[in-house]
């Protein structure tokens, strides 16, 4: 295991070979500083991974100091690159649980559209899940649907491709197998006219619900849980959330002031979207205010005077408006919802998510 620098806890497999490749290319000091971070479910593993990395790198001739971030990091949009300066110079950030971010990462006044040279992404591959059970349960719900697209959260890449191969052997036409993010579904949505149903292989409802919203509730979305091997049609859950979103939009007819929230995390800083929404609002005579926040919650919004803002639009993470603030007492919109409202386009184009 140390030969390849691959760590497993029995459920997940973490391959650190990319880190080794970067160290070889760097070709400088054998002293290495690492800052390691992870999402909620993987934080419990960090002490063990820290020990493993120290031993693995020592076997390669490196002397590693591993620093552990205690707070969970919820996505590649929240990379702790601004914190590296507190650790030292030439520090590598090891980010567990996600692939490189598809949108720009901004730090120090510069936005990067490709991976930063000192950041290593180690998704962690789930080694469980029963292909046979998942496929059997899928076939029970697919009915006459034969043309399929499969999305997955990054920990389930290998399982998803195995499920796709098994479905193909059973006569299904698999048009696409691709990763999804909570804020990015276009790679799947663009197949909406050539597939009968979508499958999302991921724990929980976060990714499957997002795809259902991106499809406007107009296509079958099946959620396959890799931990229980159960499959369900989430259509009712998608329609329930859509009804709440339409309700929020219905409250905006008399809105005169809009708080546009700009995120300060490296992958959530989108001033160009804020400026676009601001321009649309001003055309309608709506007063706008740009509000900045690193982390957003209902407690943060509750600090504001109740009469100061009629509505908010969140440009940082569209899932905050859906999952965290969907039942807030004032409308909290995604950028796409704000655009539909401010251009009177909802009746013409239908619901759009996320941007």
Contacts of 91 (CB under 8 A, 6+ apart): 33, 34, 35, 67, 84, 118
Within the chain, which residue ranges are assigned CATH 3.40.50.11840?
A: 6-126
Q: Under a CB-based contact definition with an 8 Å cutoff, are residues 305 and 324 in contact?
A: no
- Alpha-carbon distances, residue 21 vs 16, 63, 117, 122, 195 (angstroms): 9, 16, 12, 13, 40
According to the model, what pLDDT value does residue 278 have?
98
According to the model, what pLDDT value does residue 1 have?
40
Each residue of 337-355: pLDDT tens digit? 999 999 999 888 889 999 9
Within the chain, which residue ranges are assigned CATH 3.40.50.11850?
A: 131-242
Q: What is the dihedral of CA 91, 94, 99, 105, to 10 degrees?
A: -30
Q: In terms of CATH architecture, what is 6-126?
A: 3-Layer(aba) Sandwich (3.40)
Tokens of 218: 């107009």
Q: Under a CB-based contact definition with an 8 Å cutoff, are residues 99 and 124 in contact?
A: no
Q: Under a CB-based contact definition with an 8 Å cutoff, are residues 119 and 145 in contact?
A: no
According to the model, what pLDDT value does residue 144 have?
96
According to the model, what pLDDT value does residue 27 have?
78
Q: Interior CA angle at 80 toward 83 and 11, to 5°?
A: 135
- Rounded Cα distance between 175 and 164, Å, is 10
CA 280 vs. chain centroid, Å, equals: 27
In this prediction, residue 2 has a pLDDT band, given cuts at 50, 70 and 90, of very low
Q: Beta strands 12-15 and 125-126: pairing type? A: antiparallel
Each residue of 307-325: pLDDT tens digit? 999 999 999 999 999 999 9
Tokens of 312: 């908010």
Task: Say if residue 175's pLDDT is above 80.
Answer: yes
Element (H, E) at 138: helix 131-142
Burial of 77 (0-12, 13-18, 19+ CB in 10 A): buried
- Indicate the SS3 state at residue 261: strand
- Rounded Cα distance between 271 and 253, Å, is 26
For the domain 251-349, what is the CATH superfamily, name and number?
Diphthamide synthesis DPH1/DPH2 domain 3 (3.40.50.11860)
Give the long-range contacts of residues 282-288, CB within 8 A, separation 24 or more: 283/342, 284/342, 285/256, 286/255, 286/256, 286/257, 286/258, 286/342, 287/256, 287/257, 287/258, 288/257, 288/258, 288/259, 288/260
Each residue of 329-341: pLDDT tens digit? 999 999 999 999 9
In this prediction, residue 157 has a pLDDT band, given cuts at 50, 70 and 90, of very high
- Indicate the SS3 state at residue 201: strand
DSSP bridge partners of 56: none
Mean pLDDT to the nearest integer, 285-309: 96
Task: Say if residue 28's pLDDT is above 80.
Answer: no
Within the chain, which residue ranges are assigned CATH 3.40.50.11860?
A: 251-349
- Rounded Cα distance between 127 and 9, Å, is 10
Each residue of 96-139: pLDDT tens digit? 999 999 999 998 888 988 878 899 999 999 999 999 999 999 99
In this prediction, residue 153 has a pLDDT band, given cuts at 50, 70 and 90, of very high
Mean pLDDT to the nearest integer, 223-236: 98
Q: Is the dihedral of CA 82, 88, 91, 95 positive or negative?
A: negative
CATH topology of domain 131-242: Rossmann fold (3.40.50)
Count of residues making up the chain: 355
According to the model, what pLDDT value does residue 115 have?
77
pTM: 0.95
Each residue of 196-211: pLDDT tens digit? 999 999 999 999 999 9
């Amino acid at each position: 295991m140390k030969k390849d620098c691959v760590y497993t806890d029995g459920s997940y497999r973490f391959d650190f070979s990319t880190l080794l490749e970067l160290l070889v290319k760097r070709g400088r000091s054998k002293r290495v500083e690492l800052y390691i971070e992870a999402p909620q479910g993987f934080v419990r593993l960090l002490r063990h991974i820290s020990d493993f990395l120290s031993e693995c790198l020592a076997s390669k001739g490196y002397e590693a100091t591993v620093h552990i971030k205690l707070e969970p990091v919820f996505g590649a949009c929240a990379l702790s690159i601004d914190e590296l300066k507190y650790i030292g110079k030439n520090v590598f950030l090891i980010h567990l649980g996600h692939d490189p971010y598809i949108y720009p990462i901004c730090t120090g006044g510069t936005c990067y559209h490709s991976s930063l040279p000192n950041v290593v992404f180690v998704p962690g591959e789930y080694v469980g899940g029963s292909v046979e059970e998942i496929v059997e349960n899928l076939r029970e719900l697919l009915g006459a649907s034969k043309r399929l697209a499969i999305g997955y959260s990054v920990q389930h890449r290998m399982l998803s491709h195995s499920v796709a191969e098994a479905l193909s052997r059973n006569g299904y036409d698999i048009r696409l197998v691709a990763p999804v993010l909570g804020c990015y579904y276009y790679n799947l949505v663009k197949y909406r006219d050539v597939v009968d149903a979508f499958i999302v292989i991921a724990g929980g409802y976060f990714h499957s619900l997002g795809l259902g919203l991106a499809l406007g509730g107009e296509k079958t979305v099946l959620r396959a849980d890799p931990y229980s091997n159960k499959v369900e049609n989430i259509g009712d859950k998608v329609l329930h959330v859509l009804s709440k979103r339409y309700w929020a939009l219905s409250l905006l007819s008399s809105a005169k002031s809009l708080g546009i929230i700009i995120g300060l995390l490296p992958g959530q800083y989108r001033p160009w979207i804020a400026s676009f929404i601001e321009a649309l609002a001003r055309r309608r005579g709506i007063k706008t205010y740009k509000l900045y926040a690193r982390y957003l919650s209902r407690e943060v919004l509750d600090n504001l005077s109740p009469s100061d803002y009629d509505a908010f639009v969140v440009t940082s993470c569209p899932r905050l408006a859906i999952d965290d603030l969907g039942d807030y007492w004032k409308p909290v919109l995604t950028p796409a919802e704000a655009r539909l409202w401010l251009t009177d386009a909802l009746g013409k184009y239908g619901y759009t998510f996320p941007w």
